A and B are shown apart, each in its own frame.
Chain A
Amino acid sequence: MGEDYNTSVTVIKNNLIVALPAEMTDSCIQNIEKIIIEKTYQKNIQGVLLNFSMVSVMDTYTYQAFEHITRVFSLMGIQTIWVGLNPGVIFGLIDLDVAINTKIKMAINLEIGLTLLN
């Protein structure tokens, strides 16, 4: 496990809730990816909620890394929902002209995200 892995991962009713930290380095994202994919496989998880509400900065690489994770999960038959992206972060992504995958499900808060999963 890497030293800069500072993410809380909770399991509720076969759903995995991942609260992402405010700032993530590239290696940190790789660690998160490794850990949550392992965990979903072990614990028979059906849905994953990626909570971005604490994330204050997001660049193209970060976006693509999480899109990659989402695709990996969909291959494993697990639904992934992105939750709580801040308006500021979205401005940044749009400004960077990131190719946004509109197939990914997004929700404004955890509650709505959970209802989307069920």
Chain B
Amino acid sequence: MKKKYQEADDKLKAQILDQIPAPVMAVNKELIVIYMNEAGKKLIKRSAEDIIGIACKDIICTDQCGTDDCAMLKAMKSGKTYASRTEATLGGQTIPLEFSAVPLVDDSGEIIGGLEFVLDITERVLYENRLKEQNHTIREMSTPTIKLWEGVMVLPVVGVVDSMRAQHMMESMLTKIAETYAKVIILDIHGVAAVDTAVANHLIKITKATKLMGCDCILSGISPAVAQTIIQLGIDMEAINTRATLSDALTEAFLMLNLEVNKKKQ
């Protein structure tokens, strides 16, 4: 059968290797560089004479270089592929890199060195960090514990309560109680659309935790629909002090603290 397309010859293959936008580097068994493609030369800003014959740890400086953690050594020893992330220092700059190290074998199948394929992931790391920051901000925003009165804190909850968020709520509440010595904390679930068994369980856990800190927890903002669902689901909320609105809860808190609100006499 006649082939329609001919495979690239050796010269073209070398050119292809040079045109890959990611750096590719090969070393011999002594970790001396024997090959570097164009992208690699560009990344480290050195010419071929300056690279070939030099130990690879002197060209790309990472924390793993020269230690037993060297992926190239591991790959050569085990004959398997190693992929990992690291940071390399190149010309005073630290660049996050992702690399795969594979053993280099000759025709007879004997390992004669190692091959490394590197990706510059500066942008990706930047995005990841930004995402982490945003997650953190959202988490902080979603669990604000506010001082309402001397010894009274309120935590308004809006949105969906999952176990992660419940954990954060608890964390935020307990640290605030420890800081302010609050005696009553009001958990306002007015903004929580649906309360199921899991959410109710989280809420019960939170009230127990605050109780252990010597702080009473009042659950407020229970709408008629939510109250009905809780009863329909057969959840036992007897252990929790519950109120319909935030103002009812505040009145209850005043009662607990032996405070009285009076109208000013004319």
Binding site for B on A (CB under 8 A): 82-83, 85-87, 90-91, 93-94, 100, 102, 105-109, 112-113
Q: Which of B192-246 contact A (CB under 8 A)?
A: 205, 208-209, 211-215, 239
User: Which residues on B sit within 8 Å (CB–CB) of A108?
Assistant: 177-178, 181, 213-215
* Contact indicator A94/B205 (Cβ below 8 Å): yes
Name the contact of A87 in the complex, choosing from B171, B183, B239 (C-beta under 8 A): B171
Residues in chain A near residue B251, CB distance under 8 A: none
B213 contacts A87, C-beta separation under 8 Å: yes
Given contacts A94-B208, A108-B177, A112-B214, 4 further A-B contacts (CB under 8 A): A83-B214, A106-B211, A109-B181, A112-B181
Q: Which residues of B contact A90 (CB under 8 A)?
A: 174, 209, 212-213
Q: Check if B170 is an interface residue, CB within 8 A of chain A.
A: yes
A91 to B171, CA, bound (A): 8
Residues of chain B at the chain A interface (Cβ within 8 Å): 170-171, 174-175, 177-178, 181, 183, 205, 208-209, 211-215, 239
- Is A102 in contact with B239, judged by CB distance below 8 angstroms? yes
A-B contacts counted at CB < 8 A amount to: 50
A sample of 26 inter-chain contacts (CB < 8 A) reads A82-B212, A83-B214, A85-B212, A87-B171, A87-B174, A90-B174, A90-B212, A90-B213, A91-B171, A91-B174, A94-B209, A100-B208, A100-B211, A100-B212, A102-B211, A102-B239, A106-B211, A106-B212, A106-B213, A106-B214, A108-B177, A108-B214, A109-B181, A112-B181, A112-B183, A112-B214
5 smallest A-B Cβ distances: which pairs?
A87-B174, A106-B214, A107-B214, A108-B214, A100-B208
A91 B181 Cβ-Cβ under 8 A: no
- A83–B214 Cα distance when bound, in Å, is 8
Query: Measured between alpha carbons, how far is A14 from B106 in the docked complex, in Å?
Result: 88
Q: Determine how close the nearest CB of chain A comes to the CB of B194; give it in whole angstroms.
A: 23
**B205 partner residues in chain A, CB cutoff 8 A:** 94
Name which of A82, A107, A108 has the most chain B CB atoms within 10 A of its CB: A108
CB proximity of A80 to chain B, nearest CB, Å: 13
Q: In whole Å, how far is B9's beta carbon from the nearest beta carbon of chain A?
A: 65
Q: Which residues of chain A are within 8 angstroms of B239 by Cβ–Cβ distance?
A: 102
Q: How far is the CA of A45 from the CA of B179 in the complex (A)?
A: 31
Closest chain-B Cβ to A4's Cβ sits at a distance in Å of 26
B190 to chain A, nearest CB (A): 24
How many Å lie between the Cα of A112 and that of B216 in the bound state? 14
Residues of chain B lying within 8 A (CB to CB) of residue A112: 181, 183, 214
A71: min CB distance to chain B, Å = 17
Closest A-chain residue to B151, C-beta based? A112
Q: In the complex, which residues of chain A have a beta carbon less than 8 angstroms from the beta carbon of B214?
A: 82-83, 85, 105-108, 112-113
Cα–Cα distance between A85 and B210 once the two chains are bound (Å)? 10
**Residues in B whose Cβ lies below 8 Å from that of A102:** 208, 211, 239
Instruction: Give the distance in Å from the alpha carbon of A83 to the alpha carbon of B181 in the complex.
Output: 12
Q: How far is the CA of A112 from the CA of B257 in the complex (A)?
A: 12
Residues of B within 8 A of A83 (CB): 214
CB-CB under 8 A from B213, the residues of chain A are: 85, 87, 90, 106, 108
**B178 and A87 contact, CB distance less than 8 A:** yes
CA–CA, A19 and B205, complex, Å: 27
Question: Complex Cα distance A109/B174, Å?
Answer: 14
CB distance from B99 to the nearest CB of A (A): 39
Minimal beta-carbon separation of A50 from chain B (angstroms) = 12
Q: How far is the CA of A94 from the CA of B208 in the complex (A)?
A: 8
State how many angstroms separate the Cβ of B209 from the closest Cβ of chain A: 5
Distance of B206 from chain A, by nearest CB (Å): 8
Could you say which of A87, A93, A94, A109 contacts B175, with CB atoms under 8 Å apart?
Answer: A87
